[in-house]
Amino acid sequence: MGAITLTHEPLDLPFRSAWTISRGTRTAAHNVLVRLRWQAPDGRTYEGLGEAAPYGFYGEQRGTVEACLDEFAPLLGDDPFAIQTVMQRLEAHLRHNTAAKAAVDLALHDLAGKVAGRPLWQLWGLDPSRTPVTSFSIGLDEPEAMASKAREAAAFPILKIKLGTARDLEIMAAIHAAVPGHRLVVDANAAWTPKQALRRIAALQDYPIDFVEQPVAASDLDGLRYVRERSPFPIIADESCATEEDVARLAGCVDGVNVKLMKCGGLYRAKLVIAAARALHLQVMCGCLIESALAITAAAHLGPLLDYADLDGNLHLASDPFTGVRCEAGRLTLPDGPGLGVVERS
């Protein structure tokens, strides 16, 4: 068998409009596309695709991803099915840098599925019809503008509302008036203190809120516990939970965790996070950064294992260079093609 080879290239993804959360504003994602190629003994060549979405909050940027990928290239071996071995090899070689590892992981899963001629969800023995609907996120803006965006996204039954400003209550009132029948998720992106969080939550307790995501600082586990013990809504950890190693210390502090491929290092590690959460009776959601359909489709293959999905990152792009998972009124339909089932637009 031939050795697996790795190449990478920039993947610039302009947004449809500026994207703002409590930490700042962006207008484009500067991601990285990975291609893994392998020649089978019969001479056929297969290509697996992966994507890294580096994010400064997690200590990565495009340059660090590219440097890591160059180091990872000689470590891939010659077996497209040896995903566990390869990912453990990368982890032993270099800690952290999870977006870079995620890109390799996604490409390996895509490659293995293509060699097998089966979609990834089928190789895992999952039922794609059990994938929960995805929420659609409304980024921070003036209350009236956020309400207008909520109306535009009214086909989605669940809207995720970014908060973390002095106008949080105005925002929620405007959105609820705009889409009064919708389920809502509140995400402060760690912007509140514990006492602020409880005041905000108390003021919002009559709204149809499914849960509150990351109300306090990522490192403030005591604050998370304090809020969870007093909140009428479930509390989900996002920034506080990156890998399976974080899950045990969050038990008792939150009701669930948000798994993201770019935080944990890809699909292999994501399944470990999910298993750890289930063992501790925690709910599981899968979220994303602003990514193309390549990474979103990869995450969507975890859908049947989830309670909640927040996989709308590609829907905020001005254009998407890939097709994959379909989203209709929040309902995610996984592709039937081999591997991730993602197709690169010409």
**So what's the pLDDT on residue 50?**
99
Q: How many CB atoms lie within 10 A of CB 188?
A: 24
**So what's the pLDDT on residue 267?**
98
Does residue 107 sit in the same domain as residue 14? yes
- pLDDT at position 29 over 80: yes
Does residue 54 sit in the same domain as residue 145? no
Distance in angstroms (rounded) separating the CA atoms of residues 19 and 288: 14
Please say whether the dihedral angle defined by the alpha carbons of residues 264, 239, 50 and 341, taken in this order, is positive or negative.
positive
Does residue 234 sit in the same domain as residue 212? yes
Of 117, 137, 154, the residue at which a domain comes to its end is 117
**So what's the pLDDT on residue 20?**
95
- pLDDT at position 338 over 80: yes
Confidence tier at 339 by pLDDT (50, 70, 90): very high
- pLDDT at position 1 over 90: no
Does residue 135 sit in the same domain as residue 68? no
Mean pLDDT along residues 61-86: 98
Does residue 73 sit in the same domain as residue 168? no
CA distances from 180 to 42, 93, 143, 234 (A): 59, 51, 15, 21
- The helix (run of H) or strand (run of E) holding residue 174 is helix 168-178
CATH number at residue 34: 3.30.390.10
Distance in angstroms (rounded) separating the CA atoms of residues 72 and 45: 21
Task: Give residue-wise pLDDT tens across range 6-15.
Answer: 999 999 999 9
State how many domains the chain has: 2
Mean pLDDT along residues 216-237: 98
Does residue 72 sit in the same domain as residue 158? no
Distance in angstroms (rounded) separating the CA atoms of residues 304 and 286: 11
Task: Give residue-wise pLDDT tens across range 280-316.
Answer: 999 999 999 999 999 999 999 999 999 999 999 999 9
- pLDDT at position 97 over 90: yes
Does residue 94 sit in the same domain as residue 201? no
Does residue 149 sit in the same domain as residue 297? yes
Task: Give residue-wise pLDDT tens across range 109-124.
Answer: 999 999 999 999 999 9
Does residue 109 sit in the same domain as residue 184? no
Does residue 98 sit in the same domain as residue 133? no
Does residue 194 sit in the same domain as residue 285? yes
Of 61, 87, 117, the residue at which a domain comes to its end is 117
CATH number at residue 302: 3.20.20.120
Does residue 13 sit in the same domain as residue 70? yes
* Average pLDDT score, the chain: 97
Mean pLDDT along residues 91-118: 98
- pLDDT at position 346 over 90: no
Task: Give residue-wise pLDDT tens across range 180-197.
Answer: 999 999 999 999 999 999
Mean pLDDT along residues 94-99: 96
Confidence tier at 150 by pLDDT (50, 70, 90): very high
- pLDDT at position 333 over 90: yes
Of 117, 138, 172, the residue at which a domain comes to its end is 117
The domain of 37 spans 5-117
Q: Which burial class, exposed, middle or buried, applies to 318 when counting CB atoms under 10 A from its CB (0-12, 13-18, 19+)? A: exposed
**So what's the pLDDT on residue 246?**
97
